Amino acid sequence: MKTILIVEDEETISRVLAVYLKHAGYEVVQAFDGSEGLRSFTELQPDLVLLDVMLPAMDGWEVLKEIREVNSCPVIMLTALGDIDYKLKGLNQGADDYIPKPFIGEEVVARVNAVLRRSTHVLDTESTKQFGSLKINMDSHVVTVNGEKVILTPKDLSLLMFLAERPNRTFTREDLIENVWGMDYDGSDRAVDLSVKRIRQALLDWSSTQGEIRTLRGLGYQFSVYEK
């Protein structure tokens, strides 16, 4: 059972949220000011945080900043402030979603479900690697993002699978040619650059928020996953 931490100083709102989330099958923990919320987060390591912006002791922006320094746990901001600047501030500081008050309980549950589905937490099974919304079945060679199949050439698929099996490790072009194209390859190393470019284009819906194939100047390429 996944645990949701609600950090909200208005007890009525917190209680209503807790009822809806418990009904949806989540375990719920409540905190009523920023400092208490941060302590609860550190102790419990919840699966998602519903975080109000206007909190006593420590406001939501400060709590979000502290969380993001150590963890990529999904955070949804709650606030009565409807200005677009506040929404952008939250998203730019690392929030995963933003729900203005007043809100409907069912909407909050739906947003929680959606954010958890695209969480960057990595799930490995015997044949499948999952990085947030990106799934790579290593047996069937099927790649999906948000449930939609991604079409790749055989060589691009081989390159993606090689890198995804070794996240956050850096490989030179020569390494990739040797391991993906083979030692007998006699073409240009530009093939690696072009393959990476095509993969990035195919994974745009994933790479914008959850990870990327990074170019490390002078070093090579890395399948980089945003850490929890």
pLDDT of 117 strictly over 90: no
**Domain map (residue ranges) of the chain:** 3-117, 122-225
pLDDT on residue 153: 76
Distances (CA, A) of 118 to 113, 121, 221: 9, 9, 24
With a cut of 50, say whether residue 221 has pLDDT above it: yes
Q: Among the CATH numbers 1.10.1660.10, 2.30.30.830, 1.10.10.10, 3.40.50.720, which is that of 122-225? A: 1.10.10.10
Residue 156 confidence (pLDDT): 86
What does the alpha-carbon distance between residue 22 and residue 43 come to, in Å, rounded to a whole number? 20
Enter the pTM of the model.
0.54
Separation of alpha carbons 65 and 159, rounded Å? 36
Residue 227: what are its φ and ψ, rounded to 5°? -75, 150
d(CA 119, CA 12): 28
51-89 per-position pLDDT tens digit: 999 999 899 999 988 887 777 678 899 987 665 566 666
Among the CATH numbers 3.40.50.2300, 3.30.950.10, 1.10.520.10, 3.60.20.10, which is that of 3-117? 3.40.50.2300
What pLDDT was estimated at residue 83? Answer: 59
Q: What pLDDT digit, counting tens, does each position of 150-209 carry?
A: 888 777 888 999 999 998 899 999 899 888 877 555 566 678 888 899 999 999 888 767
